Amino acid sequence: MTFGPAFHAECLKIRTLRSLPGTLLALFAATTAFSAVAGADQGTGPQADPLFSALSGVLPGQIAAITFGALAVSGEYRGGALRVTLLSMPRRGLWFAAKAAAVAGHVLLVGLVTAGAAFAAGRAGLGAAARAITAAEAARAVAGCGIYLTLMALFATGLTAVLRSGVAALSILVPFVLVVSFVVGDSAGTVADLLPDRAGQAVLRSAYDGVLGPWPGLAVTALWTAGALLAGAWCVRRRDA
């Protein structure tokens, strides 16, 4: 089997498992709703970054992206599903590449739509503060938001393949992005700017005080993601199904 049919098969799996489209819907709803609330509550403070306020719903919304990436892989390890998959697609590296591509395609599409809707909702709540956001900043942040959500989903995909468990992957990643990253950020200074979530979120800001700008920050997140995917691919190829 070539990559095209393998990719199509993985896309069909995503669309036919109700939990996965539901997770993408949660990504859209949570990010948009929290951005609307945050724009109204945070956008008028003297120290507020209006661009980040308009898109700050990505902070809870990224949990849905991470969950999507983990669930897309963990389902293969339940009930021997992966053994059945490999009967029709014996090239394990090809299967994992198709799985990652299917995850990336769905999250990128939904992420870009979500980013646009969240920005519009958050900007509406900012009122006069929204005038400080330039068109170039808005375009960069919306595009970067979609890419960031995709990278975080793929990071979860790779880690789940390593751990062979969605629960294990989520038990590491969810506390990490909600708690650990902020605790380390308060105590580790600029080192925290190199963490995958904090680095990528620089693209959502108009003013950034860390060592990384918007696109270098996304590049750092991409390196973390590439490492997780390579580790996941190695585990898929070396371990028994």
pLDDT (tens digit, 9 = 90+) per residue, 136-182? 999 999 999 999 999 999 999 999 999 989 899 999 999 988 877 76
Domains identified in the chain, total number: 1
Find out whether 104 and 155 touch, Cβ atoms under 8 Å. Answer: no
pLDDT score for 241: 55
Least confident of 30-34, 91-95, 126-130: 126-130
For residue 160, the Cα-to-chain-centroid distance in whole angstroms is 14
Predicted structure pTM score:
0.92
| Residue range 107-124: mean pLDDT, rounded | 94
The candidate with the shortest Cα–Cα distance to 136, out of 144, 126, 128, is 144
Domain range for residue 143?
Answer: 3-238
pLDDT score for 92: 87
pLDDT score for 219: 96
Tell which wins on pLDDT, 59 or 43: 59
